[in-house]
Amino acid sequence: MLKLKKPKYTKKQADQLFSELIRKAGKCFKCGSTFHLQTAHIFTRGYYTIRWNPRNAKCLCAKCHMYFTYHPIEWENFIKYHIGEEEYNELRRMALAYEKIDYQAIIEGLIGQLELGA
């Protein structure tokens, strides 16, 4: 039976590194809490072209993240207020663009960003 070689770079690794990078902010972008920090994407993770782009995520505590998950209009308004309409529209444009996903480049870029912030 043919054994398939496990890929060296994976989406799961990229997600873990990205979450670590965003949570390095150290506090919730909305309330300032340092408890149960999470990564909140401005545009959902389903848009792979910006899934690992730090411009597309904010560090939120679990409470604020849960609130905004169930109040998407408030999330959109909150984000537009803080990053501006122009940046929001640019992220939207990027989300809708097609780009081949290169996990190796993504992971190496995230590692580099984490090392810079260390």
Q: Is the pLDDT of residue 41 over 60?
A: yes
User: Is 16 a domain residue?
Assistant: no
Domain that holds residue 54: 22-112
Number of domains in the chain: 1
User: Is 6 a domain residue?
Assistant: no
Percent of the chain with pLDDT over 70: 93
Question: What DSSP line would sit under the chain, residue for residue?
Answer: -PPPPPPSS-HHHHHHHHHHHHHTT-S-TTT---SSEEEEESS-TT-TTTTT-GGGEEEEEHHHHHHHHT-HHHHHHHHHHHH-HHHHHHHHHHHHS-----HHHHHHHHHHHHHHH-
User: Is 72 a domain residue?
Assistant: yes
User: Is 8 a domain residue?
Assistant: no
- Please write the tens of the pLDDT for every residue from 68-84: 999 999 999 999 999 99
